[in-house]
Amino acid sequence: MEGKVEFYKETEFKDTEIGRIPKEWEVVKLKHLVKRDKFAIVDGPFGTQLHSNEYVEWGVPLIRVDNINKNGSFNPNNLVYITEEKWEELKRSAIFPRDILLAKTGATIGKVCLFPEKFKKGLIASSCAKITIDPSKAYNQYIFYFLLSNFGYSQILALATGSTRPTINLNPISKVKIAIPKNIKEQQKIAEILSTVDEAIQKTDEIIDKTESLKKGLMQELLTKGIGHKEFKDTEVGRIPKDWKVVKLEEITTKIKDIDHKMPKKQEIGIPFVSIKCMLKYPDFNFYLDPNDPDLEFISKEEYEYHVQRFDVERGDIIYSRFGSIGNAKLITTEQPFIASYSIVLIKPNRNKVNSTFLTYILNSETVRKQAKIATKGATNRNLHLKDIKNLRVPLPSLFEQQKIAEILSTVGEKLEILKQEKVKLERIKRWFMEELLTGRIRVRIA
């Protein structure tokens, strides 16, 4: 986005069927903004016209709903391809760079993205629709952002049919109403602002991916080879430094417990009750108890006192998932008391033998995760029993080396958390801009 952007607050509005918009704007149905082409709004071929056995290793990309991310970006992963001949046969459903792609069925309904310019052409699958905007009538990226916003998404859901598997057909898609500035330059400027924020989010995502790869590599290196070792030995947990030990988890902890089988009664306020879904949300390997988490539940003080003898959490303790998504460890970094579900085990490290942060990392390592998977192999409910958790074998360096390894991994983890928080801020900024700019409450001055 070039040059300085000047914003101003709109004061004159008019009421429309989709809400208040500036007097200078208009509400236009999507079908009046597309190219004068029979297939300007089109869906993919019927399933009988294209089968998976017709995919080829390289050719024309076939775009499916998996290639459309919820945030509006294009996902190139898991692309499949068809031959030029098949594309010619089905080119009614052809797509070209800058076309708008829309998921039109099922749980993914309403997802949109732009077809990237790096592809010359493509084809959409039956679960998708394509929209080709007439550049003389509207700026396609503005229309994309409007469809991505709550204003467009809510209309798509309202126009969909079917309860178990909702679908929006081409005719309803064409009737989606767009609030639009009459001046295409204003549309373009709004799209450029939102695109600039998207680019910042994408760059942050790329740095996050690189940092996560770095952390994964460091974990593999430090948790198996340690720091500065030259001699190694083979053990039941793999090859480790010669002066490391292999111990059972129960040998370096003072308690490994779950709550009583009697599940607490939930209520709206009280002592926090953490489900496994809530636990797994937390970034990196820390658990700090977010009071705004919508999945957080509560129990009474009486219920808490009944269970706290078994589940008396302290800062520096570890919670460990034993059911469903097994083998995930989180280090408790909060002083606030809480109780966790029966699917979560409390592990109290013996601070004289093991560093809590190091133990959290080692429990999340592939070395220990493999053991947890083996212990639950063949079980119908994939429940990791307490005795199996206690018997997990842990490679153990000296306390001094544990601390050094923990410091290195924590530094990378903290960097990762800062980046993720930065992404959250950028996403919040984008939502605000979309809310204000796409309704005209905040305007962009056009020279």
Q: Which helix (H) or strand (E) holds 330?
A: strand 329-332
**Distance from C-alpha of 300 to C-alpha of 325, rounded to nearest angstrom:** 27
Are both 25-181 and 245-396 of the same fold?
A: yes
Say whether domain 245-396 belongs to CATH 3.40.50.2020: no
- Residue 323 gets which letter from DSSP? B
**Distance from C-alpha of 74 to C-alpha of 364, rounded to nearest angstrom:** 31
Given the DSSP bridges, would you call strands 128-131 and 41-43 parallel, antiparallel or unpaired? antiparallel
Domain ranges in the chain are: 25-181, 245-396
Taking the complete model, does pTM exceed 0.85, yes or no?
no
Within 30-127, strands assigned E span 41-43, 60-63, 80-82, 94-95, 100-103, 112-114, 122-124
Considering the domain 25-181 in this protein, what is its CATH number?
A: 3.90.220.20
pLDDT in tens, the chain (447 residues): 555 789 999 999 999 999 999 999 999 999 999 999 899 999 999 878 888 899 999 999 999 999 999 999 999 988 999 999 999 999 999 999 999 999 999 889 999 999 999 999 999 999 999 999 999 999 999 999 999 999 999 999 999 988 778 899 999 999 999 999 999 999 999 999 999 999 999 999 999 999 999 999 999 999 999 999 999 999 999 999 999 999 999 999 999 999 877 778 888 889 999 988 899 888 778 888 888 888 889 999 998 998 888 899 999 999 999 987 899 999 999 999 999 998 999 999 999 999 999 999 999 999 999 999 988 876 556 788 999 999 999 999 999 999 999 999 999 999 999 999 999 999 999 999 999 999 999 999 987
